[in-house]
Structure 1
């Protein structure tokens, strides 16, 4: 397995997100939940909205367009109108860098 650096730890404050674009992948959303980092696809599975623009609360992100909610840890669609989950990615943190493990 390889890994790609996607951002620095200090680029994503606790309770915040960062949109990242890597070659060969759709736009990604990096979330910092109390120092634990999670990565899911950034584009809402219901529409074309960026989840990084949505509200983050209780481990969930709310789509800014139609208020669908997703679990940040599992990618599961929690509320309508979204029914399709977000893809999740394996993440590693080393030396204040966040990596996507492939």
Structure 2
């Protein structure tokens, strides 16, 4: 559901365990790619394009820790803050999106930089 400020409520915070991710369909986000909502071990939430830039793998299925998500297929790492690739075989950054947590709910702002 789109909020007046442009955010989309995509999940409750409790829907995503720390160290895990959740893919949100591009049909909901209006973006070219699905968006992965990723929850780091410190409880913070981040959003990146879901498809790894190296292979057709979902970053929401990857491992999230210490500010990075690791692709479940070939172990490329992407920075949660800015989408910068930090480990081969990927060589192309991914796209970050702004998220906010309000009263236990996660809001996504597609195509807005964090």
Is 1:32 the equivalent of 2:39? yes
- SS of the residue aligned with 2:60? helix
Give TM-score, length-normalised by structure 2: 0.80
More strand by share: 1
Structure 2 unmatched ranges of 5 or more: none
| Structure 1 residue 24 displacement after superposition | 1.6
* Aligned match of 2:60: 52
When residues 94 and 70 of structure 1 are mapped into structure 2, their CA distance, relative to the original with a 3 A threshold, is same
Runs of 4+ in 1 over 6 A off after TM superposition: none
- The verdict on how the C-alpha distance between 1:54 and 1:23 changes in structure 2, with shifts beyond 3 A counting, is closer
Alpha-carbon distance in 2 for matches of 1:101, 1:62:
23
- Rounded to whole Å, the distance in 2 between the matches of 1:18 and 1:36 is 14
1:50-95: CA deviation from partner (whole Å, max 9, x where unpaired): 1122222322111122221111122110111111111001111112
Residues 1-102 of structure 1 aligned to structure 2 (within 5 Å): 1-21=5-25, 22-25=28-31, 26-33=33-40, 34-102=42-110
User: How many aligned positions are there?
Assistant: 102
Identify which of structures 1 and 2 has the higher relative contact order when contacts are C-alpha pairs closer than 8 Å and 6+ apart: 1
